[in-house]
Each structure stands twice: as structure tokens, then as C-alpha cells.
Amino acid sequence: MSLPKPVMRGLLGKRLRFHIPLAFAFALVAGGLIKYGVTEPRKRAYAEFYKNYDGVKEFNHMREAGVFQSVRPSGE
């Protein structure tokens, strides 16, 4: 029963050399996914929305619908 002597040293170093680059890679990938999956579409959506946004028109529509307390619809 002559088994080879098991590795006794450098176990933490080996684990760190494997896991730390992996953690870095995962973090970068996660950051990239969020940037290009969430923030860029959101920025584009807001740009699109405000490109042809007419605040006064929206205000008048809201006023006619009767949601404001300071200005009632123009009929009343």
C-alpha cells in the first residue's frame, strides 16, 4: 500500500490562483451584461421619449383628464 504522499503545502495559494482570476472574470462579465443589457437600453429609451416630447401638450391632456387640483378641465 504505497500511496503517493498527498500535497501538504501551498493549498491556499493554489486555491487563490484559481479562484481570484475567475472572480475577476465573473465580475467583469456581470458588469458588462448589466451595462449592455440594462443601462444602454434605458438610456436609449429615455432619449427616444424626450426627442419629440411636448410638455405643454401632455399637460393639457392631463388637465382634460381631470387629474390636477390646481387647474380643472377647461370646460368647468
Which span sits near other proteins by CB under 8 A: 9-17, 21-29, 43-51? 43-51
Cα–Cα dist 31/24, whole Å: 11
Kindly indicate which of the ranges 12-20, 24-32, 64-72 contains the residues binding other proteins, using the contact rule CB under 8 A: 64-72
Contacts with other proteins: how many residues (CB under 8 A)? 11
Interaction of residue 62 with other proteins, rule CB under 8 A: yes
Q: Is 1 in the site for other proteins (CB under 8 A)?
A: yes
Q: Does 65 interact with other proteins (rule: CB under 8 A)?
A: yes
Q: How far is CA 36 from CA 19, 23, 43, 44, in A?
A: 26, 20, 10, 11
Q: Which three cell numbers stand for residue 22?
A: 475567475
Phi, psi at residue 74, to the nearest 5°?
-60, -25
